[in-house]
């Protein structure tokens, strides 16, 4: 039977350095079939390839530089970055985008990196894996500027407003949903807006080891999120949308395969 696909796994994080095989095994026991390996920094490129090479049938790769690490583009150029990302044979380009929450990299460098990744995705004819936090206007403006020839894209870890959701859907985005929606107290608007996301534009994710669902019946000791909790997140989304969990699983799985293949 076909399983869930977790489109956001930060498996290069130190939380998984000693037990990744166990993490994958436990997720598969819960019905999670495939995983998207996220790349935040150029330093992640080699580790995610090593992970994928062990069981290539289990993984998709997204290769790029997270806006937190956008300063890395100052030490490379477009041609070198294109070559490095292409060498991983990625299924998507990213995680790229904008994050003004803490501005770990300066906004102007983030915007330059974002545009560079968009150009690479165009050249390689690959979808874009996008991140946005506290930067909606600039984020949307950059996408609109490229909309005539931008590849398909997913806005992962969506936690925004209905107006932001409308902007993304109007631009043709796929929407990635995490365990953030499991916090009913802080996410009233988000939980309402889920009903307005077409199921053919939806994907699901844990963003592990981050964003552990707040309403897990049994909390893990170290508060580390894992892909095995993806069915719990899916159940919450299915309830909010008023559909059966099996319908959600099949639709989000098909969306992910179409997107990353």
CATH of the domain at 255: 3.20.20.140
pTM to 2 decimal places:
0.97
Question: 31: which DSSP letter?
Answer: T
The mean pLDDT value for 202-217 works out to: 96
Tell me the pLDDT of the chain averaged across its residues: 96
Other beta carbons less than 10 A from residue 159's beta carbon: 17
Domain residues for the domain of 124 are: 4-260
Helix (H) or strand (E) holding 4: strand 4-9
Tally of domains in the chain: 1
Annotation-wise, does 156 bind a ligand?
A: yes
What is the share, in percent, of the chain residues with pLDDT greater than 90? 91
End-to-end, the C-alpha distance of the chain in Å comes to: 20
What is the share, in percent, of the chain residues with pLDDT greater than 70? 100
Confidence of residue 1 (pLDDT cuts 50, 70, 90): low
Annotation-wise, does 80 bind a ligand?
A: no
Annotation-wise, does 136 bind a ligand?
A: no
Other beta carbons less than 10 A from residue 13's beta carbon: 16
Say if residues 122 and 148 touch (Cβ distance below 8 Å): no
Confidence of residue 188 (pLDDT cuts 50, 70, 90): confident
């Amino acid at each position: 039977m076909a399983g869930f696909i977790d489109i956001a796994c930060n498996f290069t994080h130190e939380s998984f350095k000693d037990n990744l095989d166990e993490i994958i095994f436990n997720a598969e026991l819960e019905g999670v079939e495939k995983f998207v390996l996220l790349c935040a920094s150029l330093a992640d490129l080699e580790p995610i390839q090593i992970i994928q090479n062990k069981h290539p049938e289990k993984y998709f790769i997204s290769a790029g530089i997270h806006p937190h690490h956008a300063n890395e583009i100052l030490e490379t150029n477009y041609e070198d970055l294109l070559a490095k990302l292409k060498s991983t044979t990625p299924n998507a380009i990213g995680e790229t985008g904008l994050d003004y929450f803490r501005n770990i990299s300066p906004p102007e460098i983030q915007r330059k990196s974002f545009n560079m990744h968009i150009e690479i995705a165009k050249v390689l004819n690959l979808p874009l894996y996008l991140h946005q936090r506290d930067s909606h206007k600039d984020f949307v403006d950059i996408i609109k500027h490229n909309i005539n020839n931008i590849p398909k894209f997913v806005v992962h870890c969506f936690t925004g407003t209905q107006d932001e959701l409308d902007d993304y859907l109007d631009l043709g985005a796929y929407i990635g949903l995490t365990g953030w929606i499991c916090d009913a107290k802080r996410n009233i608007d988000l939980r309402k807006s889920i009903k307005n996301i077409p199921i053919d534009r939806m994907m699901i994710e844990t963003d592990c080891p981050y964003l552990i669902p707040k309403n897990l019946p049994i909390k893990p000791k170290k508060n580390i999120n894992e892909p095995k909790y993806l069915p719990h997140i899916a159940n919450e989304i299915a309830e909010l949308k008023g559909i059966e969990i099996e319908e959600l699983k099949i639709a989000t799985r098909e969306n992910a395969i179409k997107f990353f293949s």
